[in-house]
Amino acid sequence: MQSTPHAPPGDPEHAGRVGPPTSSMPSAPPAAEPGPREEPEEPRGCLYALSQPPLMLFLAVIGTLLGLCGVHDLLL
């Protein structure tokens, strides 16, 4: 038995064929545009997370409060 492409419903030209129509199949993949290639990002570790400004501000405030509590306990 010979395998042939499918015919779209109601298409008299391809009546009786099995498989997708050959005219709608792409002939070649689209060519990639030349340009700068993006390097894959390296995983960032703990030091990167600790260096973020909002976290540094939060840690500075907590450190200041702990320091003030320590000085208060020593002096009183």
Residue that the structure tokens 């689209």 belong to:
30
Residues 6+ apart with CB under 8 A from 59: 50
Looking at the DSSP bridge assignments, the partners of residue 18 are 6
CB 6 within 8 A of CB 20: yes
Question: Does the pLDDT of residue 65 top 70, yes or no?
Answer: yes
Residue that the structure tokens 């499918």 belong to:
6
What pLDDT, on a 0 to 100 scale, did the predictor assign at position 57?
A: 94
Fill in the amino acid letter for 44: R
pLDDT in tens, 10-32: 656 655 666 665 656 556 666 66
Residue 18 φ then ψ, to 5°: -120, 130
Cα 44 to Cα 50: distance, rounded to the nearest angstrom: 11
The pTM assigned to this predicted structure is 0.40
What is the overall mean pLDDT for the chain? 75
